[in-house]
A = this chain, B = another copy of it.
Amino acid sequence: MATPLQGREIRLKSRPHGEPTPDNFEFATVTVPEPAEGQVLVRNHFMSVDPYMRGRMNDAKSYVPPFKLGEVMDGGSVGQVIRSRSPDFKEGDFVVAGTGGWREYAVAPAKHYQKADPSVGPLSAYLGVLGMPGMTAYVGLLDIGKPKAGDTVFVSAAAGAVGGVVGQIARIKGCRVVGSVGSDAKVKHLRDDLKFDAAINYKSAPIAESLAKACPDGIDVYFDNVGGDHLEAAIGLMKNHGRIVLCGAISVYNATAPTPGPRNLGLAVGKRLTLQGYIVMDHADRRADFLRDVGQWLREGKVQDVSTIVDGLDKAPDAFIGLLRGDNTGKMLVRLAKDA
């Protein structure tokens, strides 16, 4: 009988107050169980760290349940099936799931996984442009923001995993695309790599001023990833009948007290604005359209797959903490398999 497979995983040790610290996480080595009937055993190549995970570290009711103290954390993962007890997958298949992350090996029901086709893009892209962040951008921009050719689309956190794809899709749809980021290097990235029409470093000047300069004719669609003063600045510049896609509010995820809301929300009446929040998992019916469109744009070079990759499970807590500070350009990933 073969030696049982050992795998490392990360558990939630304590809940953060404000910014997470390495102390909130603990490492453990566990014996990986054999898959039961209907399950697969997956060796993770990459795991995802995402802003929404900050909410799951709190003990608060939300659209996903909180992480439990002392239990393995969870998140998106891509990897390769090394044992299958499901007719849906065979050994060697590449797979992606919204679960199974923060560990080297995962055993889970086969229905949690979907096949990842390496001919469409690199495996890591299935956690980024071809995965949850890409689909968040796709349905949020197209189905909720409803941009028309010629519209001005503003996206915040525009060098992030979602924001970068929002900007690139808006450009494909014939919009004028403006993005905000937190460094001059990211400004250059938006302009040179992602071909944004204008890019703002919100740390160099008050966002309301620089946004007004970048959008002299106003904003038709604002894709909000950050909340806070970005949202207030955008409301002030929205055109009549504008749409604001409420995707996230990374500026306040670490807040320890209620943060100010937009003081000018009353303008939404006269400007006939719509602000709409959404969660990508409600839009699973769009997955085939998303993979078809974004897969094609990726192959044609119209959309770039951008990621920041750190190596080894040891680095996952720092990668996550850094993500909330904006250390990443594109999708923040942790590579778990040295040969991936």
Could you list which residues of chain A lie within 8 angstroms of chain B, going by C-beta atoms? 55, 62-63, 227, 231-232, 240, 246-249, 252, 258-279, 282
Contact = CB atoms under 8 A, between A and B. Distances in A.
Contacts of A266: 227, 249, 252
A232 B277 CA distance: 16
A258 B269 contact: no
Given A270-B279, A272-B278, A274-B276, 10 more contacts: A63-B270, A63-B271, A246-B268, A249-B265, A261-B263, A267-B277, A268-B277, A272-B276, A272-B277, A274-B275
Nearest to A241: B282
A273 B270 contact: no
A277 to B, nearest CB: 4
B265 A262 contact: yes
29 contacts: A55-B270, A62-B270, A63-B240, A63-B271, A231-B265, A246-B265, A246-B268, A246-B269, A246-B273, A247-B269, A249-B265, A249-B269, A252-B266, A260-B261, A260-B263, A261-B262, A261-B264, A268-B276, A268-B277, A269-B278, A269-B279, A270-B279, A272-B276, A272-B278, A272-B279, A273-B276, A273-B277, A274-B275, A275-B276
A63 B252 CA distance: 33
A219 to B, nearest CB: 15
Give the residue among A248, A264, A276 with the most B Cβ atoms within 10 A. Answer: A276
Nearest to A62: B270
A236 to B, nearest CB: 11
Nearest to A270: B63
B275 A275 contact: yes
Contact of A264 (B258, B271, B275): B258
**Nearest 8 pairs of A and B residues by beta carbon:** A261-B261, A268-B277, A258-B263, A269-B277, A249-B266, A261-B262, A275-B275, A63-B270
A268 B277 CA distance: 5
Contacts of A62: 270
Contacts of A272: 276-279, 282
A273 B265 CA distance: 15
A130 B322 CA distance: 58
A221 to B, nearest CB: 15
Nearest to A275: B275
A240 B276 CA distance: 12
A247 B276 CA distance: 16
A113 B14 CA distance: 68
A157 to B, nearest CB: 14
A247 B273 CA distance: 11
